[in-house]
Amino acid sequence: MKKSVLVLALAAATGLVHAEDTLKKIKDSGAVTMGVRESSGALSYTLGDGKYVGYHVEICQKVLADVQKQLGLAKLDIKYQPVTSQNRVPLVQNGTVDIECGSTTNNASRGKDVAFAVTTYVEEVRIAVKANSGITSIAQLNGKNVATTTGTTSVQLLRKHERAANVDFKEVFGKDHADSFLLLESGRADAFVMDGQILAGNIAKSKSPADYKIVGEVLSVEPIAIMIRKDDPAFKKSVDDSIKAMMKSGEIAKLYDKWFMQPIPPANTKVNLPASEATKAAWANPNDKPVEEYAKK
């Protein structure tokens, strides 16, 4: 008995235990669980009352419509499960969430535990400050409070940046992106370091968008992708094929325009963040390269 438990533990540790067949799970249950974020800018956010919207949410809805067609299901029940920066990977790993449609960076570390679809958005990590703060660069963060969201990589990126070598700042943590923005809004933080679109989205939704600006050097260029379970090639192929078809038809560019360049609910404000050249390149040449590949010079 002990030996078999040990064998299973070793197999799990070495990745020999394969993930559940997600397509079979969906077909058998007629249901699928989508992981969504409550405040990840225009990528994924809540309107309240269990309603979630955004660029990645809509992409996933279209992917799941294709999966439904592929499986010949008359109906597919989509359940929405809010996730956080801290629990999103474990919830995909343990089968609670089948497809995570938030703002997750594809990196080598996460790639040991989960898989990623082809990149749908390439992010630039920046700094948001109050417009009257006088802060325009990393060097000016010395002695300041810098907000970040628990479970994200942004502050590590800031600390590693060459211009931050002699900059001594204090980290303050928000439990989610809205909470981190509140730290900036209330004056408990002098800056908020995060993905540019999350910063832009939170600024657009704030009481006085003109009171904030995004400044400083680009800290990192990061591929953001839809996350799925590891070792499930059939489901990955279904998700990838659907996204690639959207890229080829131009539908993904239209979705981007809808969520980032047009007025969006609930306040009908615009994020006003044009697609970066790196994002357009990811659409033109679909790939699931992790951030480490982007970092190579």
Question: Integer distance in angstroms from the first to the last C-alpha of the chain?
Answer: 51
Q: Which residues of the chain have pLDDT under 50?
A: 1-18
DSSP, res 164: G
- The reported pLDDT for the residue numbered 19 is 53
- The reported pLDDT for the residue numbered 3 is 45
Burial 211-245 (b: 16+ CB within 10 A, else e): ebbbbbbebbebbbbbbbbbebeebbebbbbbbee
DSSP, res 251: H
- Strand arrangement of the beta sheet that strand 121-130 belongs to: 170-174, 145-149, 191-195, 121-130, 212-224
Within 8 A by CB and 6+ apart from 54, the residues are: 36, 37, 40, 41, 42, 43, 44, 45, 101, 259
- The reported pLDDT for the residue numbered 163 is 81
Pairing, β 145-149 against β 170-174: parallel
Q: What is the pTM of this model?
A: 0.79
- The reported pLDDT for the residue numbered 223 is 96
CA–CA separation, 192 and 97 (whole Å):
29
The string of DSSP letters for 112-146 reads GTEEE-S--EEEEEEEEEETTS---SGGGGTT-EE
- The reported pLDDT for the residue numbered 16 is 39
* C-alpha 186 chain-centroid distance: 25
Instruction: Check if the beta carbon of residue 238 is closer than 8 Å to that of residue 23.
Output: yes
Q: What domains are there in the chain, each with its CATH number?
A: 19-120+225-295 (3.40.190.10), 124-221 (3.40.190.10)
CA–CA separation, 97 and 86 (whole Å):
14
- The reported pLDDT for the residue numbered 41 is 87
- Which residue matches tokens 């090639």? 233
Q: Quick one: residue 253, left, alpha or beta (phi over 0 = left, psi -120 to 50 = alpha)?
A: alpha
